[in-house]
Chains A and B, each alone.
Chain A
Amino acid sequence: MRLLLLFRKELHESRKSLLVYLLTIFLVLLVQEMIGEISAQMSGFQYVTSGYGNLFPGFLLLGGFIVTGLLFAQDMFSRIGQHNWLMLPATALEKFLAKALASAFFYPIALTGVFIISSLVIEGITALLFGSPFDIFNPFDASTGLLMLHYLVIQSVFLLGATLFRKVHFVKTVLSAASIAVIMSIIGGVFMRIVFAPYFTDMFVLDISFTGDMPDAPVLFRGLWVYMQILYWAVLPVFCWITSYIRVKEVQSTDAVS
Protein backbone atom coordinates (compact mmCIF):
# COMPACT_ATOMS: atom_id res chain seq x y z
CA MET A 1 0.00 0.00 0.00
CA ARG A 2 2.77 2.45 0.99
CA LEU A 3 4.67 1.44 -2.13
CA LEU A 4 1.71 2.55 -4.23
CA LEU A 5 1.57 5.82 -2.31
CA LEU A 6 5.27 6.32 -3.04
CA PHE A 7 4.74 5.55 -6.74
CA ARG A 8 1.94 8.11 -6.78
CA LYS A 9 4.18 10.67 -5.07
CA GLU A 10 7.07 10.04 -7.49
CA LEU A 11 4.78 10.30 -10.49
CA HIS A 12 3.05 13.43 -9.27
CA GLU A 13 6.27 15.23 -8.40
CA SER A 14 7.92 14.50 -11.73
CA ARG A 15 4.84 14.79 -13.93
CA LYS A 16 5.92 18.05 -15.60
CA SER A 17 9.39 16.75 -16.49
CA LEU A 18 7.81 13.54 -17.77
CA LEU A 19 5.32 15.44 -19.92
CA VAL A 20 8.10 17.55 -21.46
CA TYR A 21 10.13 14.39 -22.11
CA LEU A 22 7.20 12.56 -23.70
CA LEU A 23 6.37 15.57 -25.86
CA THR A 24 10.01 15.73 -26.97
CA ILE A 25 9.88 12.07 -28.00
CA PHE A 26 6.70 12.67 -29.98
CA LEU A 27 8.16 15.71 -31.74
CA VAL A 28 11.42 13.91 -32.60
CA LEU A 29 9.45 11.01 -34.08
CA LEU A 30 7.14 13.37 -35.94
CA VAL A 31 9.99 15.39 -37.43
CA GLN A 32 11.87 12.25 -38.44
CA GLU A 33 8.85 10.71 -40.13
CA MET A 34 7.83 13.93 -41.87
CA ILE A 35 11.35 14.45 -43.23
CA GLY A 36 11.37 10.82 -44.40
CA GLU A 37 8.00 11.21 -46.13
CA ILE A 38 8.90 14.54 -47.75
CA SER A 39 12.25 13.15 -48.95
CA ALA A 40 10.45 10.10 -50.36
CA GLN A 41 7.90 12.27 -52.12
CA MET A 42 10.59 14.53 -53.61
CA SER A 43 12.78 11.65 -54.74
CA GLY A 44 9.85 9.78 -56.26
CA PHE A 45 9.78 6.80 -53.89
CA GLN A 46 6.27 5.62 -53.18
CA TYR A 47 6.89 4.14 -49.73
CA VAL A 48 9.32 4.93 -47.01
CA THR A 49 10.02 2.61 -44.09
CA SER A 50 9.26 4.17 -40.71
CA GLY A 51 12.21 4.73 -38.35
CA TYR A 52 10.54 4.18 -34.97
CA GLY A 53 12.53 1.02 -34.39
CA ASN A 54 15.79 2.90 -35.03
CA LEU A 55 15.08 5.59 -32.44
CA PHE A 56 13.63 3.31 -29.75
CA PRO A 57 16.98 1.88 -28.54
CA GLY A 58 18.42 5.38 -28.15
CA PHE A 59 15.53 6.64 -26.07
CA LEU A 60 15.37 3.40 -24.09
CA LEU A 61 19.07 3.12 -23.30
CA LEU A 62 20.40 6.67 -23.23
CA GLY A 63 17.18 8.21 -21.91
CA GLY A 64 16.65 5.42 -19.42
CA PHE A 65 20.17 5.59 -18.06
CA ILE A 66 20.06 9.36 -17.69
CA VAL A 67 16.69 9.12 -15.92
CA THR A 68 18.06 6.37 -13.67
CA GLY A 69 21.19 8.38 -12.91
CA LEU A 70 19.06 11.27 -11.65
CA LEU A 71 16.70 9.14 -9.55
CA PHE A 72 18.25 9.83 -6.17
CA ALA A 73 20.01 13.15 -6.88
CA GLN A 74 17.58 15.32 -4.96
CA ASP A 75 16.36 12.90 -2.32
CA MET A 76 19.71 11.46 -1.30
CA PHE A 77 22.23 14.18 -1.99
CA SER A 78 20.52 17.58 -1.91
CA ARG A 79 21.14 19.16 1.49
CA ILE A 80 17.66 20.69 1.61
CA GLY A 81 15.78 18.20 -0.56
CA GLN A 82 16.75 15.07 1.33
CA HIS A 83 14.85 16.01 4.49
CA ASN A 84 11.38 15.21 3.08
CA TRP A 85 12.54 11.88 1.73
CA LEU A 86 14.39 10.76 4.84
CA MET A 87 11.49 11.73 7.08
CA LEU A 88 8.77 10.22 4.88
CA PRO A 89 7.12 7.41 6.85
CA ALA A 90 8.09 4.47 4.63
CA THR A 91 10.82 1.86 4.88
CA ALA A 92 14.13 2.32 3.08
CA LEU A 93 13.22 -0.68 0.92
CA GLU A 94 9.91 0.88 -0.12
CA LYS A 95 11.57 4.20 -0.91
CA PHE A 96 14.25 2.41 -2.92
CA LEU A 97 11.82 0.18 -4.80
CA ALA A 98 9.50 3.05 -5.67
CA LYS A 99 12.32 4.64 -7.64
CA ALA A 100 14.18 1.57 -8.85
CA LEU A 101 11.09 -0.24 -10.15
CA ALA A 102 9.84 2.91 -11.83
CA SER A 103 13.12 3.22 -13.69
CA ALA A 104 13.53 -0.50 -14.45
CA PHE A 105 9.99 -1.40 -15.48
CA PHE A 106 7.71 1.62 -15.63
CA TYR A 107 10.06 3.60 -17.88
CA PRO A 108 10.47 0.97 -20.66
CA ILE A 109 6.76 0.12 -20.56
CA ALA A 110 5.75 3.78 -20.67
CA LEU A 111 8.28 4.48 -23.43
CA THR A 112 6.93 1.59 -25.47
CA GLY A 113 3.41 2.91 -24.98
CA VAL A 114 4.47 6.40 -26.03
CA PHE A 115 6.17 5.01 -29.15
CA ILE A 116 3.08 3.00 -30.11
CA ILE A 117 0.68 5.90 -29.54
CA SER A 118 3.01 8.41 -31.23
CA SER A 119 3.45 6.13 -34.23
CA LEU A 120 -0.33 5.71 -34.50
CA VAL A 121 -0.86 9.47 -34.50
CA ILE A 122 2.07 10.19 -36.83
CA GLU A 123 1.11 7.43 -39.26
CA GLY A 124 -2.41 8.87 -39.30
CA ILE A 125 -1.01 12.30 -40.16
CA THR A 126 1.32 10.98 -42.89
CA ALA A 127 -1.48 8.83 -44.33
CA LEU A 128 -3.68 11.91 -44.57
CA LEU A 129 -0.95 14.14 -45.99
CA PHE A 130 0.98 11.74 -48.21
CA GLY A 131 -1.25 8.71 -48.52
CA SER A 132 1.47 6.47 -47.14
CA PRO A 133 0.49 3.13 -45.56
CA PHE A 134 0.30 2.54 -41.80
CA ASP A 135 3.62 1.31 -40.43
CA ILE A 136 3.32 1.62 -36.67
CA PHE A 137 5.99 0.80 -34.09
CA ASN A 138 6.03 -2.89 -33.26
CA PRO A 139 7.76 -3.72 -29.94
CA PHE A 140 6.84 -7.39 -30.06
CA ASP A 141 9.87 -8.81 -31.79
CA ALA A 142 12.87 -10.74 -30.49
CA SER A 143 15.37 -7.91 -30.88
CA THR A 144 13.26 -5.46 -28.83
CA GLY A 145 12.76 -8.12 -26.17
CA LEU A 146 16.50 -8.72 -25.94
CA LEU A 147 17.10 -4.98 -25.87
CA MET A 148 14.72 -4.68 -22.92
CA LEU A 149 16.62 -7.42 -21.06
CA HIS A 150 19.95 -5.67 -21.71
CA TYR A 151 18.36 -2.46 -20.49
CA LEU A 152 17.37 -4.13 -17.22
CA VAL A 153 20.93 -5.34 -16.63
CA ILE A 154 22.75 -2.12 -17.53
CA GLN A 155 20.11 0.00 -15.78
CA SER A 156 21.16 -1.68 -12.53
CA VAL A 157 24.69 -0.30 -12.99
CA PHE A 158 23.31 3.22 -13.39
CA LEU A 159 21.08 2.61 -10.39
CA LEU A 160 24.19 1.88 -8.36
CA GLY A 161 25.87 4.98 -9.77
CA ALA A 162 22.83 7.05 -8.80
CA THR A 163 23.18 5.99 -5.16
CA LEU A 164 26.98 6.03 -5.13
CA PHE A 165 27.88 9.40 -6.63
CA ARG A 166 26.82 12.68 -5.13
CA LYS A 167 26.94 14.68 -8.38
CA VAL A 168 27.19 14.16 -12.16
CA HIS A 169 25.86 10.64 -11.67
CA PHE A 170 25.49 9.66 -15.33
CA VAL A 171 28.95 10.74 -16.50
CA LYS A 172 30.67 9.33 -13.43
CA THR A 173 28.87 6.01 -13.86
CA VAL A 174 29.86 5.81 -17.54
CA LEU A 175 33.49 6.67 -16.74
CA SER A 176 33.64 4.24 -13.83
CA ALA A 177 32.03 1.43 -15.82
CA ALA A 178 34.39 2.10 -18.73
CA SER A 179 37.42 2.10 -16.42
CA ILE A 180 36.32 -1.17 -14.79
CA ALA A 181 35.65 -2.67 -18.24
CA VAL A 182 39.15 -1.75 -19.44
CA ILE A 183 40.79 -3.17 -16.33
CA MET A 184 38.70 -6.36 -16.52
CA SER A 185 39.52 -6.71 -20.21
CA ILE A 186 43.24 -6.48 -19.53
CA ILE A 187 43.02 -9.01 -16.68
CA GLY A 188 40.77 -11.26 -18.80
CA GLY A 189 43.13 -10.98 -21.75
CA VAL A 190 46.16 -11.94 -19.70
CA PHE A 191 44.18 -14.80 -18.11
CA MET A 192 43.07 -16.08 -21.53
CA ARG A 193 46.58 -15.78 -22.97
CA ILE A 194 47.98 -17.90 -20.14
CA VAL A 195 45.20 -20.48 -19.68
CA PHE A 196 44.40 -20.95 -23.38
CA ALA A 197 47.93 -20.55 -24.68
CA PRO A 198 47.72 -23.64 -26.99
CA TYR A 199 44.74 -22.15 -28.84
CA PHE A 200 46.52 -18.92 -29.74
CA THR A 201 47.83 -18.94 -33.34
CA ASP A 202 49.56 -15.62 -32.85
CA MET A 203 50.37 -13.38 -29.91
CA PHE A 204 46.77 -12.08 -29.67
CA VAL A 205 44.86 -14.29 -32.13
CA LEU A 206 42.64 -16.99 -30.62
CA ASP A 207 41.50 -19.79 -32.90
CA ILE A 208 38.08 -20.39 -31.34
CA SER A 209 34.74 -19.49 -32.89
CA PHE A 210 32.65 -17.19 -30.66
CA THR A 211 29.38 -17.99 -32.43
CA GLY A 212 26.62 -20.38 -31.42
CA ASP A 213 27.46 -22.87 -28.69
CA MET A 214 31.14 -22.88 -29.69
CA PRO A 215 31.41 -26.58 -30.59
CA ASP A 216 35.12 -26.26 -31.30
CA ALA A 217 35.93 -24.54 -28.03
CA PRO A 218 37.48 -26.44 -25.13
CA VAL A 219 35.19 -27.39 -22.21
CA LEU A 220 36.90 -24.92 -19.88
CA PHE A 221 36.30 -22.12 -22.34
CA ARG A 222 32.64 -23.04 -22.77
CA GLY A 223 32.28 -23.21 -19.00
CA LEU A 224 33.88 -19.80 -18.70
CA TRP A 225 31.44 -18.43 -21.24
CA VAL A 226 28.50 -19.79 -19.21
CA TYR A 227 29.92 -18.20 -16.06
CA MET A 228 30.27 -14.90 -17.90
CA GLN A 229 26.64 -15.12 -18.96
CA ILE A 230 25.54 -15.84 -15.40
CA LEU A 231 27.73 -13.01 -14.16
CA TYR A 232 26.17 -10.56 -16.62
CA TRP A 233 22.51 -11.62 -16.52
CA ALA A 234 22.15 -12.60 -12.85
CA VAL A 235 25.04 -11.58 -10.58
CA LEU A 236 25.62 -8.05 -11.89
CA PRO A 237 22.02 -6.77 -11.57
CA VAL A 238 21.46 -8.48 -8.22
CA PHE A 239 24.74 -7.10 -6.87
CA CYS A 240 23.93 -3.59 -8.10
CA TRP A 241 20.38 -3.62 -6.73
CA ILE A 242 21.42 -4.91 -3.31
CA THR A 243 24.35 -2.49 -3.03
CA SER A 244 22.12 0.41 -4.11
CA TYR A 245 19.54 -0.55 -1.50
CA ILE A 246 22.21 -0.66 1.22
CA ARG A 247 23.38 2.79 0.15
CA VAL A 248 19.80 4.09 0.38
CA LYS A 249 19.30 2.48 3.77
CA GLU A 250 22.45 4.01 5.21
CA VAL A 251 22.14 7.48 3.75
CA GLN A 252 22.42 10.31 6.27
CA SER A 253 21.74 13.99 6.20
CA THR A 254 24.37 15.69 4.01
CA ASP A 255 25.45 17.78 7.00
CA ALA A 256 27.30 14.78 8.31
CA VAL A 257 29.57 14.42 5.34
CA SER A 258 29.94 17.99 4.09
Chain B
Amino acid sequence: MIHMKEIWFQYGRKPLFSRLQLDIPPGSIYGLLGMNGAGKTTLLKMISGQLFPLSGTADVLGFDPVKRDVRMLRDLYHLPEEFLLPRMRGENYVSIYAPFYPKFDQNAMEEYCREFGISLDQKLNELSYGQKKKFLLSFGLASNTSLLILDEPTNGLDIPSKSQFRRTVAAAMTEERTFIISTHQVRDMENLIDPIVIVQDGTIVFNSPLDAVSQRFSMQIEAEKPSDGEAVHSEKVPGGWMTVRDRRADEAETSVDLEMLFNTVVSNPQAFHHMGGAL
Protein backbone atom coordinates (compact mmCIF):
# COMPACT_ATOMS: atom_id res chain seq x y z
CA MET B 1 0.00 0.00 0.00
CA ILE B 2 2.82 2.40 0.88
CA HIS B 3 6.42 1.94 -0.21
CA MET B 4 8.98 4.64 0.43
CA LYS B 5 12.59 4.11 -0.54
CA GLU B 6 15.69 6.24 -0.01
CA ILE B 7 13.57 9.30 0.76
CA TRP B 8 15.49 12.49 1.40
CA PHE B 9 13.70 15.54 2.73
CA GLN B 10 14.92 18.73 4.33
CA TYR B 11 13.59 22.05 5.60
CA GLY B 12 15.97 24.72 4.40
CA ARG B 13 19.46 23.32 4.82
CA LYS B 14 18.60 21.03 7.70
CA PRO B 15 17.92 17.43 6.61
CA LEU B 16 14.94 15.84 8.31
CA PHE B 17 14.80 12.51 6.49
CA SER B 18 17.83 10.97 4.86
CA ARG B 19 17.44 7.62 3.07
CA LEU B 20 14.14 6.92 4.78
CA GLN B 21 12.61 3.49 4.12
CA LEU B 22 9.01 2.65 4.93
CA ASP B 23 6.74 -0.20 3.88
CA ILE B 24 3.15 -0.37 5.01
CA PRO B 25 1.01 -3.25 3.74
CA PRO B 26 -2.81 -2.99 3.68
CA GLY B 27 -5.14 -4.16 6.40
CA SER B 28 -3.80 -2.70 9.64
CA ILE B 29 -4.17 0.27 11.94
CA TYR B 30 -0.63 1.59 12.07
CA GLY B 31 0.41 3.75 14.97
CA LEU B 32 2.99 6.39 14.11
CA LEU B 33 4.86 7.54 17.18
CA GLY B 34 7.71 9.96 17.66
CA MET B 35 8.85 12.87 19.75
CA ASN B 36 8.00 16.48 18.90
CA GLY B 37 9.80 17.50 15.74
CA ALA B 38 10.68 13.91 14.83
CA GLY B 39 8.99 14.34 11.45
CA LYS B 40 5.67 12.50 11.91
CA THR B 41 3.49 15.18 10.31
CA THR B 42 6.05 15.74 7.54
CA LEU B 43 6.06 12.01 6.82
CA LEU B 44 2.26 11.95 6.67
CA LYS B 45 2.27 14.95 4.34
CA MET B 46 4.78 13.24 2.06
CA ILE B 47 2.58 10.14 1.98
CA SER B 48 -0.47 12.21 1.02
CA GLY B 49 1.45 14.24 -1.58
CA GLN B 50 1.40 17.58 0.21
CA LEU B 51 5.18 17.67 0.53
CA PHE B 52 7.64 16.50 -2.09
CA PRO B 53 10.84 14.64 -1.13
CA LEU B 54 14.07 15.96 -2.59
CA SER B 55 15.01 12.48 -3.75
CA GLY B 56 13.92 8.88 -3.41
CA THR B 57 10.87 7.02 -4.62
CA ALA B 58 7.44 6.72 -3.08
CA ASP B 59 4.44 4.65 -4.03
CA VAL B 60 1.11 5.22 -2.32
CA LEU B 61 -1.86 3.13 -3.46
CA GLY B 62 0.03 2.47 -6.67
CA PHE B 63 0.72 6.14 -7.45
CA ASP B 64 3.53 8.60 -7.02
CA PRO B 65 2.13 10.91 -4.31
CA VAL B 66 3.98 13.91 -5.77
CA LYS B 67 1.65 13.79 -8.79
CA ARG B 68 -1.44 13.95 -6.57
CA ASP B 69 -3.30 11.74 -9.01
CA VAL B 70 -7.08 11.97 -8.62
CA ARG B 71 -7.29 8.18 -8.34
CA MET B 72 -4.98 8.35 -5.33
CA LEU B 73 -6.68 11.37 -3.74
CA ARG B 74 -10.16 9.88 -3.92
CA ASP B 75 -8.94 6.73 -2.18
CA LEU B 76 -7.07 8.58 0.57
CA TYR B 77 -8.44 10.71 3.39
CA HIS B 78 -6.08 12.74 5.56
CA LEU B 79 -7.37 14.34 8.74
CA PRO B 80 -4.74 16.86 9.89
CA GLU B 81 -4.17 18.04 13.43
CA GLU B 82 -5.06 21.61 12.49
CA PHE B 83 -7.84 22.20 10.01
CA LEU B 84 -10.20 24.80 8.68
CA LEU B 85 -13.85 24.14 8.01
CA PRO B 86 -15.89 26.37 5.69
CA ARG B 87 -18.77 28.38 7.09
CA MET B 88 -21.68 26.10 6.25
CA ARG B 89 -23.93 23.45 7.75
CA GLY B 90 -22.65 19.89 8.04
CA GLU B 91 -25.21 18.61 5.53
CA ASN B 92 -24.05 21.23 2.98
CA TYR B 93 -20.43 20.22 3.54
CA VAL B 94 -21.37 16.61 2.86
CA SER B 95 -23.34 17.49 -0.27
CA ILE B 96 -20.41 19.54 -1.63
CA TYR B 97 -17.46 17.34 -0.69
CA ALA B 98 -18.92 13.80 -0.73
CA PRO B 99 -19.31 13.61 -4.55
CA PHE B 100 -15.51 13.79 -4.82
CA TYR B 101 -15.28 10.42 -3.02
CA PRO B 102 -16.90 7.69 -5.14
CA LYS B 103 -17.18 5.22 -2.24
CA PHE B 104 -18.76 7.73 0.15
CA ASP B 105 -21.56 6.20 2.23
CA GLN B 106 -24.21 8.75 3.30
CA ASN B 107 -25.89 6.32 5.71
CA ALA B 108 -22.56 5.57 7.37
CA MET B 109 -21.91 9.31 7.70
CA GLU B 110 -25.19 9.82 9.50
CA GLU B 111 -24.47 6.81 11.71
CA TYR B 112 -20.96 8.02 12.63
CA CYS B 113 -22.27 11.50 13.39
CA ARG B 114 -24.98 9.99 15.59
CA GLU B 115 -22.36 7.92 17.44
CA PHE B 116 -20.22 11.01 18.01
CA GLY B 117 -23.22 13.16 18.98
CA ILE B 118 -22.92 15.56 16.03
CA SER B 119 -25.92 16.90 14.16
CA LEU B 120 -25.52 17.39 10.42
CA ASP B 121 -27.78 20.45 10.40
CA GLN B 122 -25.45 22.31 12.77
CA LYS B 123 -23.31 25.14 11.41
CA LEU B 124 -19.73 23.87 11.30
CA ASN B 125 -18.23 27.19 12.42
CA GLU B 126 -20.33 27.03 15.59
CA LEU B 127 -18.92 23.65 16.62
CA SER B 128 -16.13 23.29 19.18
CA TYR B 129 -12.71 22.05 18.04
CA GLY B 130 -13.46 18.55 19.30
CA GLN B 131 -16.86 18.48 17.58
CA LYS B 132 -15.32 19.66 14.31
CA LYS B 133 -12.75 16.91 14.59
CA LYS B 134 -15.47 14.32 15.18
CA PHE B 135 -17.35 15.64 12.15
CA LEU B 136 -14.29 15.35 9.91
CA LEU B 137 -13.49 11.94 11.36
CA SER B 138 -17.03 10.80 10.51
CA PHE B 139 -16.60 12.17 7.00
CA GLY B 140 -13.25 10.44 6.58
CA LEU B 141 -14.60 7.10 7.79
CA ALA B 142 -17.73 7.41 5.62
CA SER B 143 -15.59 8.19 2.57
CA ASN B 144 -14.54 4.50 2.64
CA THR B 145 -11.09 5.31 1.32
CA SER B 146 -8.47 2.55 1.32
CA LEU B 147 -6.03 4.75 3.21
CA LEU B 148 -7.02 6.91 6.15
CA ILE B 149 -4.38 9.15 7.69
CA LEU B 150 -5.22 10.61 11.08
CA ASP B 151 -2.84 13.12 12.67
CA GLU B 152 -3.44 13.35 16.42
CA PRO B 153 -7.10 12.33 16.09
CA THR B 154 -7.86 12.25 19.81
CA ASN B 155 -6.47 15.71 20.60
CA GLY B 156 -9.38 17.84 21.75
CA LEU B 157 -11.76 14.92 22.20
CA ASP B 158 -13.48 14.45 25.55
CA ILE B 159 -13.07 11.16 27.45
CA PRO B 160 -16.26 9.46 26.16
CA SER B 161 -15.39 10.55 22.63
CA LYS B 162 -11.97 8.94 22.90
CA SER B 163 -13.61 5.62 23.77
CA GLN B 164 -16.11 6.14 20.98
CA PHE B 165 -13.23 6.90 18.63
CA ARG B 166 -11.56 3.57 19.41
CA ARG B 167 -14.82 1.67 18.95
CA THR B 168 -15.72 3.45 15.71
CA VAL B 169 -12.29 3.10 14.12
CA ALA B 170 -12.05 -0.58 15.10
CA ALA B 171 -15.52 -1.20 13.61
CA ALA B 172 -14.67 0.66 10.41
CA MET B 173 -11.53 -1.38 9.84
CA THR B 174 -11.55 -3.92 7.01
CA GLU B 175 -8.85 -5.99 5.33
CA GLU B 176 -8.77 -3.60 2.38
CA ARG B 177 -8.30 -0.48 4.49
CA THR B 178 -5.24 0.89 6.19
CA PHE B 179 -5.23 3.47 8.92
CA ILE B 180 -2.16 5.45 9.90
CA ILE B 181 -2.67 7.18 13.21
CA SER B 182 -0.02 9.61 14.36
CA THR B 183 -0.29 10.33 18.05
CA HIS B 184 1.37 11.37 21.28
CA GLN B 185 -1.62 10.06 23.23
CA VAL B 186 -0.56 6.41 23.29
CA ARG B 187 -2.96 5.61 26.15
CA ASP B 188 -5.86 6.66 23.92
CA MET B 189 -4.70 4.22 21.27
CA GLU B 190 -4.02 1.18 23.40
CA ASN B 191 -5.59 -1.99 21.95
CA LEU B 192 -6.21 -0.12 18.69
CA ILE B 193 -2.94 0.61 16.93
CA ASP B 194 -0.85 -2.35 15.79
CA PRO B 195 1.76 -2.42 14.20
CA ILE B 196 3.77 0.47 15.55
CA VAL B 197 6.12 2.72 13.59
CA ILE B 198 8.47 4.95 15.56
CA VAL B 199 10.28 7.87 13.97
CA GLN B 200 13.35 9.36 15.57
CA ASP B 201 15.69 11.96 14.15
CA GLY B 202 14.32 11.44 10.65
CA THR B 203 14.73 7.67 10.73
CA ILE B 204 12.26 4.83 11.16
CA VAL B 205 13.81 3.18 14.20
CA PHE B 206 10.98 0.71 14.76
CA ASN B 207 8.35 -0.84 12.50
CA SER B 208 6.84 -3.98 13.91
CA PRO B 209 3.61 -5.62 15.10
CA LEU B 210 3.15 -5.81 18.84
CA ASP B 211 3.11 -9.60 19.01
CA ALA B 212 6.66 -9.59 17.68
CA VAL B 213 7.59 -7.33 20.58
CA SER B 214 5.94 -9.54 23.16
CA GLN B 215 7.63 -12.61 21.67
CA ARG B 216 11.04 -10.99 21.86
CA PHE B 217 10.83 -8.90 25.04
CA SER B 218 9.16 -9.09 28.41
CA MET B 219 7.84 -6.02 30.18
CA GLN B 220 7.12 -6.21 33.88
CA ILE B 221 7.41 -4.30 37.10
CA GLU B 222 10.30 -5.45 39.27
CA ALA B 223 11.08 -4.50 42.83
CA GLU B 224 14.73 -3.67 42.23
CA LYS B 225 16.39 -1.56 39.61
CA PRO B 226 18.26 -3.83 37.20
CA SER B 227 22.01 -3.32 37.05
CA ASP B 228 23.56 -1.64 34.02
CA GLY B 229 23.48 -3.80 30.91
CA GLU B 230 21.16 -6.33 32.51
CA ALA B 231 17.96 -5.00 30.91
CA VAL B 232 17.17 -3.33 27.60
CA HIS B 233 15.49 -0.46 29.43
CA SER B 234 14.03 0.32 32.84
CA GLU B 235 12.31 3.23 34.46
CA LYS B 236 10.84 4.05 37.85
CA VAL B 237 7.09 3.60 38.08
CA PRO B 238 4.75 3.46 41.09
CA GLY B 239 5.41 0.10 42.76
CA GLY B 240 8.91 -0.53 41.43
CA TRP B 241 10.82 -0.53 38.17
CA MET B 242 9.16 -1.20 34.83
CA THR B 243 11.81 -3.29 33.14
CA VAL B 244 12.16 -4.42 29.55
CA ARG B 245 14.29 -7.54 29.12
CA ASP B 246 14.99 -10.03 26.38
CA ARG B 247 12.37 -12.73 26.93
CA ARG B 248 13.61 -16.21 27.82
CA ALA B 249 12.22 -19.08 25.78
CA ASP B 250 10.47 -20.58 28.81
CA GLU B 251 9.07 -17.26 29.97
CA ALA B 252 5.39 -16.37 29.39
CA GLU B 253 4.67 -13.49 27.02
CA THR B 254 3.73 -10.23 28.66
CA SER B 255 1.44 -7.54 27.34
CA VAL B 256 3.08 -4.56 25.66
CA ASP B 257 2.82 -1.18 27.31
CA LEU B 258 2.95 1.30 24.40
CA GLU B 259 4.41 4.12 26.43
CA MET B 260 7.12 1.83 27.77
CA LEU B 261 7.81 0.46 24.30
CA PHE B 262 8.19 3.97 22.94
CA ASN B 263 10.53 5.04 25.75
CA THR B 264 12.58 1.89 25.29
CA VAL B 265 12.93 2.30 21.55
CA VAL B 266 13.81 5.99 21.81
CA SER B 267 16.38 5.43 24.55
CA ASN B 268 17.89 2.32 23.00
CA PRO B 269 17.10 2.18 19.26
CA GLN B 270 20.01 -0.22 18.60
CA ALA B 271 18.18 -2.97 20.49
CA PHE B 272 15.37 -2.83 17.91
CA HIS B 273 17.51 -2.81 14.80
CA HIS B 274 16.06 -6.18 13.80
CA MET B 275 12.46 -4.93 14.20
CA GLY B 276 12.03 -2.82 11.11
CA GLY B 277 14.43 -0.11 12.15
CA ALA B 278 16.82 1.36 9.64
CA LEU B 279 19.80 2.03 11.84
Residues of chain A within 8 A (CB-CB) of B100 are 2, 5, 88-90
Residue of A nearest to B75 (CB): A89
Residues 68-98 of B contacting A (Cβ, < 8 Å)? 68, 70, 73-74, 76-78, 80, 82-84, 86-88, 92, 96-97
Judge whether A91 is part of the interface by a CB distance below 8 angstroms. Answer: yes
Interface flags, B88-112, vs A, CB<8A=1, else 0: 1000100011011100000000000
**B84 touching A9 by the CB < 8 A rule?**
no
- Shortest beta-carbon distance from A11 to chain B in Å: 10
Q: Interface range on chain B: under 10, 10 to 19, 20 to 34, or 35 or more? A: 20 to 34
Residues of chain A within 8 A (CB-CB) of B76 are 87
* A83 and B73 contact, Cβ closer than 8 Å, known pairs A5-B100, A12-B96, A13-B86: no
Q: A103-111, A121-129, A167-175, A248-256: which one contacts chain B?
A: A248-256
Judge whether B153 is part of the interface by a CB distance below 8 angstroms. Answer: no
Judge whether A92 is part of the interface by a CB distance below 8 angstroms. Answer: yes
Q: Classify the secondary structure of A's interface with B.
A: helix
Interface flags, B32-48, vs A, CB<8A=1, else 0: 00000000011001001
Residues of chain B within 8 A (CB-CB) of A87 are 48, 50, 73, 76-78
Residue of B nearest to A95 (CB): B68
**A256 touching B51 by the CB < 8 A rule?**
yes
Judge whether A70 is part of the interface by a CB distance below 8 angstroms. Answer: no
Residues of chain A within 8 A (CB-CB) of B96 are 5, 8-9, 12
Judge whether B49 is part of the interface by a CB distance below 8 angstroms. Answer: yes
Residues 235-258 of A contacting B (Cβ, < 8 Å)? 252-253, 255-256
**A84 touching B42 by the CB < 8 A rule?**
no
Judge whether A31 is part of the interface by a CB distance below 8 angstroms. Answer: no
**A89 touching B84 by the CB < 8 A rule?**
no
**A83 touching B83 by the CB < 8 A rule?**
yes
Judge whether B179 is part of the interface by a CB distance below 8 angstroms. Answer: no
**B74 touching A13 by the CB < 8 A rule?**
no
Residue of B nearest to A78 (CB): B84
Judge whether A86 is part of the interface by a CB distance below 8 angstroms. Answer: yes
**B92 touching A80 by the CB < 8 A rule?**
no
Residues of chain B within 8 A (CB-CB) of A253 are 45, 50-51
Please list the residues of chain B having a beta carbon within 8 angstroms of any beta carbon in chain A: 11, 41-42, 45, 48-52, 68, 70, 73-74, 76-78, 80, 82-84, 86-88, 92, 96-97, 99-101
